[in-house]
Structure 1
Amino acid sequence: MKKLLMIQARIVLNAKAMLMALFKKARLTKALIAFAAVAGLFLFSSESFAGTGSTEFNAVYTLLTNWMQGSLGKLIAAAFIVVGLIAGVLRNSLMGFAVGVAAGLGLFTAPGIINAVVTATW
């Protein structure tokens, strides 16, 4: 009787494991189909309208860009580097300094990157 119960329990566990594997495969298949559909929409789009909108926010964007690439941006980038250097010294690691340099570089070069991405043409 014990052996029979153990065999039944093992069969139930194996069936449960097989069903779980099938459900995982089904979810993966659905996710792959959804990804392929979205990728197909992007691949077969005919035109790109990035950067061809109206000009309501040009003044604000120009102001922020001038701040980030002007003396204010240089001051903030230098502050990032100094704070990162202090954090690196306190933690006995150069990672704080590296993060500070990366943040300063990112702040200073972000407007150029944004312009390159948004005004891209095919």
Structure 2
Amino acid sequence: MKKPFFSILILIFVFSANAATSTRALDFDPIWSYIMPLMQGSLGKTISISFGIIGLMAAVCRLNILAIALIFAVAMGLYVSPIIIENVFSATLPR
């Protein structure tokens, strides 16, 4: 029972130096700057609306209101997730 815990602990210590000393890589910035406006622009709104229509149809077919709530949450997550991802990865710790 203790072996997996210690193995994970050792891996964290081994790779923490690499994580702490790494610099910000700019390899994926062009991809991110292309995807983020799409998800919050016309493509994201179109996908969100289509999720809403699919959710309404699923709710009517299954006579279940939970499908509407689930699809509404997915549509909101699609629109808000680029903001959350950018804030999480650009966060700094106070000194």
TM-score of the superposed pair, with normalisation by structure 1: 0.62
Map of 1:78 onto structure 2: 49
Aligned to 2:25, the other structure's residue is in SS state: coil
Aligned to 1:93, the other structure's residue is in SS state: coil
Distance apart, 1:101 and its partner CA: 0.7
Runs of 4+ in 1 over 4 A off after TM superposition: none
**In terms of Rg, which structure is larger?**
1
Map of 1:22 onto structure 2: none
**Offset from partner CA, 1:36-79 (integer Å, 9 cap, x none):** 3345x28x6583647x112x432321121111001221111111
Which whole-Å CA distance do the structure 2 matches of 1:80 and 1:48 have between them? 42
Map of 1:16 onto structure 2: none
Count, aligned residues: 91
Aligned to 1:47, the other structure's residue is in SS state: helix
The one of 101, 104, 112 aligned to 2:75: 104
* Mapped contact 1:85–1:96 kept (Cα < 8 A): yes
The one of 64, 71, 83 aligned to 1:93: 64
Unaligned runs of 5+ in 1: 1-27
TM-score of the superposed pair, with normalisation by structure 2: 0.77
Given the superposition, is the C-alpha separation of residues 75 and 119 from structure 1 closer, same or farther in structure 2, using an over 3 Å criterion? same
Between the aligned residues of both structures, percent identity stands at 29
1:29 and 2:2 aligned:
yes
Which whole-Å CA distance do the structure 1 matches of 2:73 and 2:89 have between them? 22
Unaligned runs of 5+ in 2: none
- Cα root mean square deviation, aligned: 2.3
Aligned residue type for 1:53: A
